[in-house]
């Protein structure tokens, strides 16, 4: 029998839906693209806390404050989960943090937009977490075990995030004229950047084809974006809000909604660091890192003392 190469045996496991685990042999390129995607995912969760954290002290009621606080704490947990999954691939957490704080690492472009009103917090829950769910549910079936398992817990919490956001908007949609205008204004500002969360068109994506072959991705960028649009159009009707796309219309032949052109120049501009809040987000992350140095140092000293005590005992 012809000697199957390591790559062939690896791809046969992928094709047979056998999860790849940290100790399994894997092509360097598979490891590299997982470190790339999982680290950026983790960075997105951590940076994603910032736009919402801005409204914890401004929430209109104790109930809204508690829900938002819980969501922001969840995002921190998602980030730590994903950094742990990333570490199983052989990269250490300090390196990941350094990549984020130095501006070398990417994180989702969506978090470089400002949260101007309370309705933005609802729009983030409905649209941003809604897009995240669309993207993350298939990742529960990702070929890399630690990533897939991390996603199961993350997705359960994302559903609460999306629902609390939708409920904020539903409340505003039944409110005063001013609240309805605030709602529409937020959706106008968050709709197109949410569409960009799924990545560039498949034709311009250097990673999608290989990620589909390795079953890291189960759907392409365009397929997930289309699913997202199809779901949001009906939800927007419940909110009595107009999605800011005059080309949005049902296409019976395709069985999907057609939608307008996405501004990919804006997308790449934000990805390259020139979005409305890129600088502010990195400054906030670096300040938080510096302000937290004493906690990390105290934890290390405490751990060393405990180890020394154990040795003596």
CA-closest candidate to residue 216, choices 149, 138, 131: 138
Residues 117, 194, 211, 226: which binds ligand 3HC (CB under 6 A)? 211
Tell me which stretch binds ligand 3HC (CB under 6 A): 32-40, 53-61, 94-102, 283-291.
32-40
Tokens of 95: 């390196």
The residue (of 148 and 197) whose beta carbon lies closer to ligand 3HC is 197
CA-closest candidate to residue 139, choices 83, 232, 199, 216: 216
Tokens of 106: 């990417």
Residues 147, 198, 214, 228: which binds ligand 3HC (CB under 6 A)? 198
Q: Judged by CB under 6 A, does residue 104 bind ligand 3HC? A: no
The residue (of 110 and 239) whose beta carbon lies closer to ligand 3HC is 110
Q: What is the DSSP letter of 272?
A: I
Q: What is the largest CA-CA distance in the chain?
A: 76
Tell me which stretch binds ligand 3HC (CB under 6 A): 54-62, 204-212, 231-239, 280-288.
204-212
Q: What is the DSSP letter of 16?
A: T
* Residues 140, 141, 144, 146, CA torsion sign: positive
Tell me which stretch binds ligand 3HC (CB under 6 A): 5-13, 95-103, 126-134, 288-296.
126-134
Q: Judged by CB under 6 A, does residue 221 bind ligand 3HC? A: yes
Q: What is the DSSP letter of 124?
A: I
The residue (of 113 and 257) whose beta carbon lies closer to ligand 3HC is 113
Residue 135: C-alpha distances to residues 108, 131, 225 (Å): 12, 6, 9
What are the residues binding ligand 3HC (CB under 6 A)? 36-37, 40-41, 44-45, 48, 75, 78, 106, 108-109, 128-129, 132, 135, 158, 196-200, 205-208, 211, 221, 271
């Amino acid at each position: 029998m012809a000697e199957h190469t390591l790559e062939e045996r690896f791809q046969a496991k992928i094709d047979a839906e056998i999860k790849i685990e940290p100790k399994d042999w894997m092509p360097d390129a598979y490891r590299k693209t997982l470190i790339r995607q999982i680290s950026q995912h983790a960075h997105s969760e951590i940076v994603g806390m910032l736009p919402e954290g801005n409204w914890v002290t401004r929430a209109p009621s104790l109930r809204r404050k508690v829900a938002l606080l819980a969501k922001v704490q969840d995002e921190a947990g998602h980030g730590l989960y994903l950094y742990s999954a990333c570490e199983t691939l052989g990269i250490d957490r300090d390196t990941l943090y350094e990549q984020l704080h130095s501006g070398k690492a990417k994180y989702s472009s969506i978090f470089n937009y400002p949260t101007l009103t309370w309705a933005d917090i609802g729009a983030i829950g409905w649209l941003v977490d809604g897009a995240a769910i669309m993207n993350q549910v298939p990742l529960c079936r990702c070929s890399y075990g630690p990533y897939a398992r991390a996603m199961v817990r993350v997705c359960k919490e994302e559903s609460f995030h999306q629902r609390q956001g939708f409920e904020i908007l539903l409340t505003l949609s039944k409110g005063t004229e001013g609240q309805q205008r605030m709602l529409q204004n937020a959706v106008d500002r968050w709709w197109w950047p949410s569409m960009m969360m799924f990545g560039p068109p498949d034709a311009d994506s250097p990673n999608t084809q290989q990620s589909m072959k390795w079953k890291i991705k189960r759907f392409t960028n365009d397929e997930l974006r289309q699913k997202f649009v199809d779901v949001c159009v009906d939800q927007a009707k419940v909110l009595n809000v107009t999605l800011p796309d005059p080309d949005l219309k049902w296409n019976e032949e395709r069985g999907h909604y057609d939608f307008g052109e996405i501004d990919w120049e804006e997308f790449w501009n934000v990805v390259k660091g020139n979005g409305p809040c890129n600088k502010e987000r990195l400054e906030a992350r670096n300040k938080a890192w510096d302000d937290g140095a004493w906690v990390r140092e105290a934890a290390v000293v405490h751990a060393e003392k405990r180890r020394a005590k154990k040795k003596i005992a």
